[in-house]
Amino acid sequence: MQPRYLRLMVAVLAFGALAIPAHAATIQIVMENLVISPAEVSAKVGDTIEWVNKDVLAHTATANNGDFDVMLPPKKTGTLVLKKAGNIDYYCRFHPNMKAKLKVEP
């Protein structure tokens, strides 16, 4: 590869890294034995929510207001990037007794 291109690539990568807002975080929420914990999470727009399903059963993270519906197969993880602010209640469609809340700040 030409040194010129290499330099360009480094520049692009460096710019890419800078472009990611410093505050964007990944927040992990665990589903185990049909319990969502923590049951209430505070986050900011741009953060990523990562649900870890530790059960042998499939779950979902489904917003009551229809904003999202993330499938979480057994022993798998699902993610969602928060796009808008608000308090969102969500539940599992397969086990509606599993309920939790996201508090998303701008």
Is 57 an interacting residue with respect to other proteins (CB under 8 A)?
yes
Is 58 an interacting residue with respect to other proteins (CB under 8 A)?
yes
Is 95 an interacting residue with respect to other proteins (CB under 8 A)?
yes
Is 31 an interacting residue with respect to other proteins (CB under 8 A)?
no
Nearer to other proteins, 22 or 56 (CB): 56
The b-or-e profile of 45-79 (16+ CB within 10 A means b, else e) is bebebebebebeebbbbbbeeebbebebeeeeebe
Is 45 an interacting residue with respect to other proteins (CB under 8 A)?
no
Of 85, 60, 35, 58, give the one whose Cα is nearest residue 102: 85
Longest Cα–Cα distance of the chain, Å, equals 59
Nearer to other proteins, 82 or 98 (CB): 98
Rule CB under 8 A: which residues touch other proteins?
A: 33-35, 56-58, 74, 92-98
